[in-house]
Amino acid sequence: MNICQGDYSKTLSENDIPFIKKTFSEVETRDEEQINLTARIKHKSGKLIFIDFHFYRRTNIFSDDRIYYVVASNVSPQFNNYKDICDNSVDGVVVFDSETFELYYGNDYFFSPINGKKQFGISIKDAFDDFSGQQIDQIFNSPKASIVYNFKQDNRSYKLSSSAIKWFDRPSILIYITDITDLTDKNRLLQSEYNHQLVYAHMISNGAAYCCMCDLNDNACFFYDVNNSIFQSISFDSPKGILFAVSKFIPNESIRARYLSIFDSDAIISNYQKGISEKSLDIPFSDYFNWFNCKYQAIINPDNGHLELFFILNDISYPYIKKNLFNKLYSHTSEYIYLANIDNLNHSYRIDLENGIFNIDNIHKSDDMKKTIYRFRTSATDISVSKMARYTQLSTIKERLENQNVYDISFSMLGDNNEQRRKRISFFYLDEYKKIIVMTLSDNTTQFRDEIKKQEELTQALN
């Protein structure tokens, strides 16, 4: 794959080339048909503009090389709508890299002059030089923060509200800058806060699996965006209907009850009256392989006084699996890992060993778990086929895991060059819900031989 080679500095932003290379290095070994990323290119006007790149893999029949065809397109209309909201805002809106301070976006107000002088300029780092260490810590280490900054020029005061976000997959800081020197009118203050929350809600929904915006007073929805086929069946009728429709996907009764106690119109209104404007919950869907983070944000529209709801679903399936596997694999030295729903071993995922290390990000669908178990039954040289069949029956595995965290089966089999190898299959559940079973295969030949040698030495010593 030659996408990471060559000189692209005349086309791509120099600061985005490391991001592109990192993205491809992480997915180079994955079995993926498509890779999507967003990067900046140099426009003929001299400006940097964001472009969506879609890489489609095709098979080269003459070699084993992976070939990717690239399609470049403008970023989604949704992003441009958000940009229009920000550009027309009466407050400054700026997004910058949380590590390098590189400016990704600044709206018109951010660059507008005051008395002939640039209000903030483009150096965010320089603007922070006057901040205290505590203020800097608030902005960079808090999911949300709000501080008052007294700008030296023109003796004016500004309120800076910051939020940690992902800007096209890059860890970034979103800051709203409000001139509060003359902001005494309560309605203007409410309008400013509403604009901040609205922009933030749109920002965090970028790339979400599903999001919608509703008026809870009118029980009506006026915006939605669906990016996952799972949610295509949800009718766009009312906030009550949408929130309840999502609950039907949740297979776990206790989680469903927890979800309904939070994501209900009346509960959201009640919480808002208590000063709680947002909540989130991780929920499983269908076969427990799909996990989503549900989040809502409630905001008052100052124009009509109505309570508006922003409801967002983000796919966290792989991070969830990765977190739980990491917590359980620290003591396992495995050749590969299978994951499957306990009620359907044919629908499984596999993670392979790469250069001696498990790359949990390289997880792919596989129907081999059940076939692999059958292969072990006939490959064991020290256990009969009937015994291995009994040991690896699904009912036996379930029964053993009722009383123990890990169920191990050790056996011998012929390896390369007809050499006897000692293997161990381990079964355990991914999490406390006991719906996803994990199977690992380990080679314990060296340890087994060491134990035999020690036993022989002990026997000789006793004789």
52-87 pLDDT tens trace = 777 666 555 444 555 666 777 776 665 665 666 666
The two tokens of residue 114 are 């005051």
Residue 166 contacts residue 37 (beta carbons within 8 Å): no
Distance from C-alpha of 233 to C-alpha of 244, rounded to nearest angstrom: 13
Q: 220 or 177: which carries more pLDDT confidence?
A: 220
Task: State residue 349's pLDDT score.
Answer: 81
Residue 407 binned pLDDT confidence (cut-offs 50, 70, 90)? very high
- pLDDT over 80 (residue 282): yes
Residue 160 contacts residue 149 (beta carbons within 8 Å): yes
Dihedral sign of CA atoms 24, 26, 28, 31 in order:
negative
pLDDT mean over 189-198: 65
Q: String of b and e for 14-40 (b: at least 16 CB within 10 Å)? A: eebbebbeebbeebeeeeeeebebbbb
- pLDDT over 90 (residue 281): yes
Dihedral sign of CA atoms 197, 203, 208, 211 in order:
positive
Q: 274 or 81: which carries more pLDDT confidence?
A: 274
Would you state the CATH architecture of domain 17-75? 2-Layer Sandwich (3.30)
Q: Over the chain, what HEC string results?
A: CCCCCCCCCCCECCCCHHHHHHHHHHHCCCCCCEEEEEEEEECCCCCEEEEEEEEEEEECCCCCCEEEEEEEEECCHHHHHHHHHHHCCCCEEEEEECCCCCEEEECHHHHCEECCEECCCCCHHHHHHHCCHHHHHHHHHCCEEEEEEEECHHHEEEEEEEEEEEECCEEEEEEEEEECCCCCCHHHHHHHHHHHHHHHHHHHCCCCCEEEEEECCCCEEEEEEECCHHHCCCCCCCHHHHHHHHHCCCCCHHHHHHHHHHCCHHHHHHHHHCCCCEEEEEEEECCCCEEEEEEEEEEECCCCCCEEEEEEEEECHHHHHHHHHHHHCCCCCCCEEEEEECCEEEEEEEEEEECCEEEEEEEEEECCHHHHHHHHHHHECCCCHHHHHHHCCHHHHHHHHHHCCCEEEEEEEECHHHCEEEEEEEEEECCCCCCEEEEEEEECHHHHHHHHHHHHHHHHHHC
Residue 376 contacts residue 388 (beta carbons within 8 Å): yes
Quickly count: other Cβ atoms within 10 Å of residue 207's Cβ. Answer: 18
Fold equal for 17-75 and 79-318? yes
Distance from C-alpha of 282 to C-alpha of 178, rounded to nearest angstrom: 34
Q: 359 or 166: which carries more pLDDT confidence?
A: 166
Tell me the pLDDT tens digit for each residue of 202-218. 656 667 888 888 889 88
Task: State residue 201's pLDDT score.
Answer: 65
Q: 280 or 181: which carries more pLDDT confidence?
A: 280
Distance from C-alpha of 89 to C-alpha of 109, rounded to nearest angstrom: 7
Q: 149 or 302: which carries more pLDDT confidence?
A: 302
pLDDT mean over 293-303: 85
Provide the residue ranges of all domains of the chain, joining segments of one domain with +: 17-75, 79-318, 319-450
The amino acid occupying position 67 is I
- pLDDT over 70 (residue 298): yes
Task: State residue 227's pLDDT score.
Answer: 78
Would you state the CATH architecture of domain 319-450? 2-Layer Sandwich (3.30)
446 Cβ contact partners less than 8 Å away, ≥ 6 residues apart: none
- pLDDT over 60 (residue 185): no
- Domain topology for 79-318: Beta-Lactamase (3.30.450)
Residue 398 binned pLDDT confidence (cut-offs 50, 70, 90)? very high
CA atoms within 13 A on the CB side of 324: 19
- pLDDT over 90 (residue 354): no
